[in-house]
Amino acid sequence: MTGAFRIHPDDNVATLLSDGADAVALVGGGAVVLNEPVAMGHKVALADIATGEAVVKFGIAIGTASVAIRAGDWVHLHNCTSRFDERSGGFDVVTGAAKDMAYD
């Protein structure tokens, strides 16, 4: 079982402490079953998050779900846009590179 931590009781995501492919135990209690492999340091949804709802980490809304996210889903650029960077919805999910710029 992989470990994860939630910073604030209002958070609807947790951060993995190691790579995970099965169940995640939260530091401080609770658990969620992963729907897909999630890499260390990435976020996993602790509850269902509807399209347009806030993704909450540190007790604040850090992003908005761009599609419906199920509890246990990896939360990243493919299903969440940043509330701090309007360009984040166009970043490459693997490399993090902006898709609206040409690189030489």
pLDDT at 69: 98
Domains defined for the chain, CATH in brackets: 3-89 (2.30.130.110)
pLDDT at 73: 96
What pTM value is reported for the model?
0.79
- CA dist 16 and 19 (Å) reads 7
Q: Are 1 and 19 in contact (CB under 8 A)?
A: no
Confidence of residue 2 (pLDDT cuts 50, 70, 90): confident
Q: Are 28 and 48 in contact (CB under 8 A)?
A: no
Q: Tens digits of per-residue pLDDT, 34-79?
A: 999 999 999 999 999 999 999 999 999 999 999 999 999 999 989 9
Confidence of residue 24 (pLDDT cuts 50, 70, 90): confident
